[in-house]
Chains A and B, each alone.
Chain A
Amino acid sequence: MSRYVQNHAGIYVPRYPLGRVQMPPQATGQITQLPAWAPTSDGEIDEWAMEQADAWARPQMRSAIDDAKGRITAELSQGDPSYRAPSGATMSDDEVAAWVMEDITANGFPNSPDAASALTMRFLDAQGSKMGFHPGFVGQGAELVMRGWPTNIDDAAAWGGYVGNAVMQQYGLSLPSDWDVKGVTTAAASAACLQAGVPFVGVVTTSIDSMWDGKLTFDEIEDIVVAVGSAVGAAVGQMFGIPAPIGAFVGAIVTALIFDGLASAFGWGPSAAEMRGRAWNKMLEARAAMMEQCMEIGVGAWGQYNDYWNEMIAGFDTSLNEYSDAMGAGIRAFGTKRLNYLVDNDGNEQVLFRPIYDRCDAAAGCLYYGTYGAQAFGYERDPAAASHRIHERPNPLDIKPVPAWQGAKEPSGRIDPYSALAYYGASRYATPFQADLERLGFDNRYVQTAGQLCWSGGRMSGAYTECWEQQLHSDYEYLENLAYIRTALKAEDLEQCSVPGWAAYMMASLVQVGPASAFVMNDVSATVSANTAEQEVIARMQVQLDDYNAVRQVTVQAAQERRDILRMRRARASREARLHYGALAAGTGSLAGYLISKMLGGKLR
């Protein structure tokens, strides 16, 4: 099953976000009704992440793609970006004469049609080697020629597919030998469309379907061959990360070279120079047509993208706000979440372009965007994910940034779904300009200023005097100005359709929404649960506190009374004692004085 589906408007959209990740429950009150695949506990999340990691670690796709991508990138980065090999040089007359003499010496003079055919095959192999192709390729191609020059679209498409395959062989890639040219080409182009090269759906299907039947002229066949070779080159290139126009260009040039070489070898068709010129013109026409389609498809994809968001956010918003009262200060994250990619129904990895890594050690959870940030609480966040805390409002043309609310809860008490999703890197804002910034590796997003600063990096200040952010723009303007912005940024004119990269960015954004919404709902569930438990504890404490307060009040009051009474009694007792014992002491002293005086008086007398 394809990873993509075609919607009613004919636009390919990823199957995964729409078909795999179910919409959150529409206010059914079942807060635990998470998407079926979503892990519902921290343990499951860990286990799930491990499974994902194991699956991803399997070498097949990863190593193959990395290898091929490395080689293609290396090839394309050398010298002329158009194409480096093959050289296209054919054997000179002297070389042909020398080769023929050598071959006749070795294999004898051809005295039968089969022997002549074999000689021709060997010659084409030698010619192909001289041109830079793999040994045997031109000879195999010649078999088609020997069976007859292509006179209809089937043969032409077979040729196109064959030379397209040659393009890949040049880079060490290959397609199945028994491939269905039309099917594979269309599929490859579709894949390229979905991956990045949207315009080729129209180019390939239109040119093939409209001329599938009937006899064609040489020029027409050549055009088809070049076009199909171009499309295959583009599709293959797209699969390995090469921009569609470059892949198409390479495919067209190589196709023309092969066509040129074969035609020259057999003395058929126009001259090589004419063919190459025609191929160039064909490419320019195709590019112009592509740009038109680029516009249309880009706008269509944008509409589809926003339709999805509108539909998704409506249900999500309702689900979240049903529990806003039980959310306390806002949504809190619990435990550790780590997710780099998902595996869809077909077993394909969907790598998140903003990997999720969130850790909260506090048993009571960590409030989304807590007051003191990540470090104060000792939970780590991926820097890339952390930089996406600012999200934008639903209106895609209003580029004012809106900070995410703490706890994803607005002052009014309403839970803001965009803030919640932004916590896990899912943002609705995915304009071409945004995609370009992301592609160029700018972390900083738009800044809201009244001045001329166009973004916080400051790189555009000198090169791009008009501040893009100060105005609202239509989608068309975004598309039209994208090339200009790129020119200002990179001092070179790429002249390529922005939709492939943009569509890939939108698709990545949708992929991010799936796990983000699942994690948010998981957190919501945990927050509500924790809050409920906390409320129960607090209520129980309150009962005891009420008892305690009553006892405490009595205790304090009684203690003070006892203390005061005791002090008063003691003071009175002390006073009385001083009086009584003072008198006693005085009396005793008087008596003692009297006695002493008597005793002394008696003696004296």
Chain B
Amino acid sequence: MSALGYEEYWDTGILFTGEAQEALERTRGDERQLDELTPAEIQALTILHEQQNGLMAYAHMAMELGLDPSAPVQDVKAALEARDITLDEATDWLPACNYDIDCFRQTLFWELRQGRRRVAEARAKRLTIGAAVVTLGAALWLRRKKR
């Protein structure tokens, strides 16, 4: 598990949600420009933005996995593991992209492609071992018959 998974991340984010919302409302009420906001208000809005990106990232991922955008975490987890991806590593993608949604989307596609490749490689691995076992067995059988 990463230092901050989705749940922890949300727990942290929720602390700011109310005040960030207030800051947002305040800016709407005054129709102030961004350069008129205080640094704290800007940061609060940034956090709010990140939280919204988190929701979008989850929805994107679920849809790419063939699930409903609001699918439960267990289903997402199962779908990811079928592609040789753990939930922990998936939760790292957005923070690793510095919470940028476009970067996340590219990472998602790349990692899913890599996952499919790993699954294919694993299948090839199993096939190779099977073939080796069969071949070896056949060789032994022939030698014994020859004697």
Q: Interface on A for B, CB 8 Å cutoff?
A: 329, 361-364, 366-367, 370-372, 376-377, 537-538, 540-542, 544-545, 548-549, 551-552, 554-556, 558-560, 562-563, 566-567, 570, 574, 577-578, 581, 584-585, 587-589, 591-592, 594-595, 598-599
Please list 8 pairs of residues, one from A and one from B, whose beta carbons are closer than 8 Å in the complex, sorted by A's number: A367-B30, A376-B31, A544-B16, A559-B2, A566-B89, A570-B114, A584-B128, A585-B131
Interface residues of B in 73-130 (CB under 8 A from A): 89, 92-96, 98-99, 107, 114, 117-118, 121, 124-125, 128-129
State the main secondary structure of chain B at its contact with A: helix
The answer on a CB contact under 8 Å between B96 and A595 is no
The answer on a CB contact under 8 Å between B121 and A555 is no
The answer on a CB contact under 8 Å between A538 and B40 is yes
Answer yes or no: B26 CB below 8 A from chain A CBs: yes
Question: What CA separation (Å) do A603 and B36 show in the bound complex?
Answer: 93
Chain B residues lying within 8 Å of A598, measured Cβ to Cβ, are 142
The answer on a CB contact under 8 Å between A562 and B92 is yes
Q: Interface on B for A, CB 8 Å cutoff?
A: 2-4, 9, 12, 15-16, 19, 22, 25-26, 29-32, 36, 38, 40-41, 43-44, 47, 89, 92-96, 98-99, 107, 114, 117-118, 121, 124-125, 128-129, 131-132, 135-136, 138-139, 142
Question: What CA separation (Å) do A578 and B118 show in the bound complex?
Answer: 11
Q: Total number of A-B contacts with CB less than 8 angstroms?
A: 118
Also in contact, A537 and B19, with CB within 8 A (given A555-B4, A585-B128, A595-B135):
yes
Also in contact, A574 and B118, with CB within 8 A (given A548-B12, A588-B132):
yes
Chain B residues lying within 8 Å of A377, measured Cβ to Cβ, are 29-31
Instruction: Identify the closest chain B residue to A591 (Cβ).
Output: B135
Chain B residues lying within 8 Å of A560, measured Cβ to Cβ, are 92, 95-96
The answer on a CB contact under 8 Å between A581 and B89 is no
Chain B residues lying within 8 Å of A545, measured Cβ to Cβ, are 16, 40, 43-44, 47
Chain A residues lying within 8 Å of B99, measured Cβ to Cβ, are 556
Instruction: Identify the closest chain A residue to B41 (Cβ).
Output: A538
Instruction: Identify the closest chain A residue to B26 (Cβ).
Output: A364
Also in contact, A555 and B114, with CB within 8 A (given A563-B96, A595-B142):
no
Chain A residues lying within 8 Å of B3, measured Cβ to Cβ, are 554-555, 558
A200 nearest CB across to chain B (Å): 54
Question: What CA separation (Å) do A436 and B93 show in the bound complex?
Answer: 74
Also in contact, A570 and B118, with CB within 8 A (given A542-B40, A555-B95):
yes
B12 nearest CB across to chain A (Å): 6
Chain B residues lying within 8 Å of A588, measured Cβ to Cβ, are 128, 131-132, 135-136
Also in contact, A563 and B30, with CB within 8 A (given A545-B40, A570-B118):
no
Instruction: Identify the closest chain B residue to A539 (Cβ).
Output: B40
Instruction: Identify the closest chain B residue to A574 (Cβ).
Output: B121
The answer on a CB contact under 8 Å between B135 and A541 is no
Question: What CA separation (Å) do A370 and B139 show in the bound complex?
Answer: 92
The answer on a CB contact under 8 Å between A372 and B121 is no
Chain B residues lying within 8 Å of A367, measured Cβ to Cβ, are 30
User: A548-B16, A581-B125 given. 8 additional CB < 8 A pairs?
Assistant: A361-B29, A363-B29, A366-B30, A541-B19, A551-B12, A570-B118, A574-B118, A592-B135
Chain A residues lying within 8 Å of B107, measured Cβ to Cβ, are 563
A326 nearest CB across to chain B (Å): 15
The answer on a CB contact under 8 Å between B124 and A591 is no
B108 nearest CB across to chain A (Å): 12
B75 nearest CB across to chain A (Å): 23
The answer on a CB contact under 8 Å between A584 and B132 is yes
A572 nearest CB across to chain B (Å): 13
Question: What CA separation (Å) do A554 and B2 show in the bound complex?
Answer: 11
Question: What CA separation (Å) do A542 and B23 show in the bound complex?
Answer: 13
Question: What CA separation (Å) do A559 and B139 show in the bound complex?
Answer: 50
Instruction: Identify the closest chain A residue to B9 (Cβ).
Output: A555
Instruction: Identify the closest chain B residue to A364 (Cβ).
Output: B26
B17 nearest CB across to chain A (Å): 11
Question: What CA separation (Å) do A329 and B38 show in the bound complex?
Answer: 12
Question: What CA separation (Å) do A410 and B82 show in the bound complex?
Answer: 66
The answer on a CB contact under 8 Å between B2 and A362 is no
Also in contact, A551 and B4, with CB within 8 A (given A370-B30, A585-B131):
yes
